[in-house]
Structure 1
Amino acid sequence: MTESYRKRLWVAAVALAVLGAAVTTWWLLRDHAPYALRKTPAVKVAVRAVKSEYPDVKETADDVEPLVKVYVQRLQAGDATDLARIGAPWYTGREPAAQKLITRYGAHAGEPVEAIVQDRGVPYLTSVKLRFSDGQKQVLELSRDHHDVWWLQLGDGDPVAP
C-alpha cells in the first residue's frame, strides 16, 4: 500500500465519520412528530402531569404537550381536515369525528385551557383531561406509535393497532 493511498483512505474514513456524526445529530434533533403549531390562532394551554408516585408521568406530559397544544389550536381554528390529521393514522372516520369535536368544543378553545395528563400505567396510551376556562371539560385519549409519535385517538379504531 502506497503512502498516497493510505492518506486517501484515511481522509475517506474521516469524511465518513463526520458524515455519520452529522446524520446522527440531525436524526436525534429533528422533530419526529408530523404536526406542529401554526402561528395562528394563538393558543393558551397549560399542560401538567397529574400528581403521581411514578416519575414517568411527567415525562409523558412533556412528550404529549405539543400534540395537546396542536389539538386545541386546530379545534379553535375549526378546520376538521386539519384536526383529523392529528388523529392516529390507524383510525378510520377521523374527519367526521373531528367535525363533532369542533361542534362540541371549538367555541371553548379560544380561552386558556388546562391539560392534566393522567397516569395510565401503559407506556403507549394516556389520557388528558382538558378544562376549558368556561368550565367545560373533555377527556382526550392518546396513543403512541412505534416511532414514539403521539396521536389523538379520533374516529374508529384500535388504540394499540400500530
Structure 2
Amino acid sequence: MARINAGRFTHRYHGELVVFLIGMRINKPWRPDLWLPVFLAMPRMLAELSREPGSGLLGFRFAVGPGGPAIVQYWDSVDKLYAYASASDSGHRPAWTAFNRRARKAPKAVGIWHETFQVSRAESMYVSTPTLGLAQATELVPVGPGSHQARERLSGPR
C-alpha cells in the first residue's frame, strides 16, 4: 500500500509544463480482439518513455472513465512530446500504424483521442494522500507560508 503523506502538500516545478490527455473509447466491448491490442500498446510506450531520462515524460496517471481508459501525462516540453509521436524508431509509430489498419477493417469498433495543454501556471493540493498526479511527476512540497490558499499557489513562484 502506498505511503500516505499526512498534512497538506502541493507541487513545485519550474519550466515548461505540458499536460497530455490520451484515451481510447471502447465502442464494441464484445470485440476485445479489436480494442485489446489498442489498450495494450500504451503500457509499452509508457515503459519505453520511462526508460529514457531525456524523453520529456515527467510522469503519468492512469484512469478509467465512461467508455474506456485514459492517461494523464505530464511532459517537460511540447517539442519532446511531438518528437516522440513522430519518431520513426519509437513505439508510437508501429502502434499508430496498427491502429489505423484495424480501424479500416472494423470502423467504429474502438476510438482514440488526445488533448494537449501547454500550462503556464499550475496549482495543486494534496491532503492525506500518497504522492500522486503532478506532485509525483515533479516535486511534492509541504504547504507553507504564501501557499495556503489556491490563489496564492497559482500566482506564486513555481
TM-score by length of 2: 0.24
Structure with more relative contact order (C-alpha pairs < 8 Å, separation 6 or more): 2
Which has more radius of gyration? 1
- The structure with the largest helix share of the pair is 1
TM-score by length of 1: 0.23
